[in-house]
């Protein structure tokens, strides 16, 4: 589904990603872990096409297409979804209208008919139950005045509505209490299927108790320094990120 090859990227002239290689197949869940500043969020944002992030070299092939050449909106319509670490408040933009507009953009792109307001609303209400969101949030402005947990749940709701092929969750677990974490994880697990792939960017192992990854990668200083199965996360939790550092540095010294 996604193949990243030797990807270098910078933010504000500072090189953050220094040669990322990653292959994600349909049906897989990949967790990307690493200490602060290792480039986890940069990777997520580069894949979503955030304009402030510049690709220096390398490529990302998504479903056989050059992902990095697409505008952010085309990536979304092609089925890539980024759950934001800090979801943006949009005062005056109605949550329901916004979601329906987003879904219809994707449907138009795929040559499907637009979905009407009534049909959309009944579908939306079902999806809202799955993330335990109150109907009251439907008539509110996007994320405006939402609590931290509500914002994250709203991200998962958007994901549930848009049904992406590739979902990238950027520290969706940060700042969540245990109940919210469970709700978010349930939402993600519902999306899991043999046709979809998920990339979980996270600092902590905690989320991986609820969403069991197929692969865990450790990012350090802009590179993936270690990859393994779900046990790698537990090992990391046990030994801390310092554990990957010397190994990396000693590798580099050779």
Contact residues for other proteins (CB under 8 A)?
48-52, 71-73, 75-77, 81-82, 84, 87-88, 90-93, 98, 101-103, 105-106, 109, 141, 158, 162
Give the shortest CB-249-to-other proteins separation in angstroms: 35
Q: Which residue in the block uniquely carries the two structure tokens 């990668």?
A: 217
Which is nearer to other proteins, 81 or 146 (by Cβ)? Answer: 81
Residue 60 backbone phi and psi in degrees, to 5: -135, 110
> What DSSP state is assigned to residue 113?
P
Give the shortest CB-83-to-other proteins separation in angstroms: 10
Q: Which helix (H) or strand (E) segment is 251 a member of?
A: helix 244-253
- The b-or-e profile of 66-84 (16+ CB within 10 A means b, else e) is ebbebeeeebbbbbbbbbb
Which is nearer to other proteins, 107 or 230 (by Cβ)? Answer: 107
Residues whose CB is less than 8 angstroms from the CB of residue 98 and which lie 6 or more positions away in sequence, other chains included: 90, 142
Residue 57 backbone phi and psi in degrees, to 5: -160, 170
Q: Which helix (H) or strand (E) segment is 103 a member of?
A: helix 95-109
Which is nearer to other proteins, 77 or 217 (by Cβ)? Answer: 77
CA distances from 142 to 75, 89, 116, 152, 196 (A): 21, 6, 20, 12, 26
Give the shortest CB-93-to-other proteins separation in angstroms: 5
Give the shortest CB-204-to-other proteins separation in angstroms: 24
Encoded tokens for 247 = 């190994």
Give the shortest CB-138-to-other proteins separation in angstroms: 16
Which is nearer to other proteins, 38 or 45 (by Cβ)? Answer: 45
Encoded tokens for 52 = 């402030």
Which is nearer to other proteins, 42 or 221 (by Cβ)? Answer: 42
What is residue 219's three-state secondary structure?
A: strand
Rg of the Cα trace of the chain?
18
Give the shortest CB-169-to-other proteins separation in angstroms: 13
Give the shortest CB-167-to-other proteins separation in angstroms: 12
What is residue 94's three-state secondary structure?
A: strand
Which is nearer to other proteins, 115 or 234 (by Cβ)? Answer: 115
Which is nearer to other proteins, 50 or 192 (by Cβ)? Answer: 50
């Amino acid at each position: 589904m996604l193949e990243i090859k030797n990807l270098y990227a910078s933010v504000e002239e500072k090189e953050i990603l220094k040669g990322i290689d990653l292959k994600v197949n349909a049906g897989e869940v990949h967790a990307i872990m690493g200490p602060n500043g290792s480039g986890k969020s940069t990777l997520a944002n580069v894949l979503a096409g955030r304009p402030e992030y510049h690709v220096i070299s390398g490529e990302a092939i998504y479903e056989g297409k050059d992902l990095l050449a697409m505008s952010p909106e085309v990536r979304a319509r092609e089925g890539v979804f980024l759950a934001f670490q800090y979801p943006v408040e949009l005062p005056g933009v109605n949550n329901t209208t916004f979601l329906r507009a987003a879904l219809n953009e994707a449907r138009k792109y795929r040559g499907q008919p637009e979905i009407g307001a009534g049909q959309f609303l009944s579908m939306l209400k079902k999806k809202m139950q799955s993330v335990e969101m109150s109907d009251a949030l439907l008539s509110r402005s996007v994320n405006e005045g939402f609590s931290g947990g509500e914002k994250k749940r709203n991200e998962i709701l958007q994901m549930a509505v848009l049904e992406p092929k590739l979902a990238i969750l950027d520290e969706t677990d940060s700042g969540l209490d245990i109940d919210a974490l469970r709700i978010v994880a349930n939402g993600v697990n519902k999306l899991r299927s043999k046709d979809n792939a998920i990339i979980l960017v996270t600092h902590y192992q905690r989320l991986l108790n609820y969403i069991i990854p197929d692969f865990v990668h450790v990012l350090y200083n802009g590179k993936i320094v270690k990859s393994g199965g779900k046990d790698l996360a537990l090992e990391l939790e046990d030994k801390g990120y310092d554990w990957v550092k010397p190994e990396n540095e000693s590798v580099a010294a050779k």
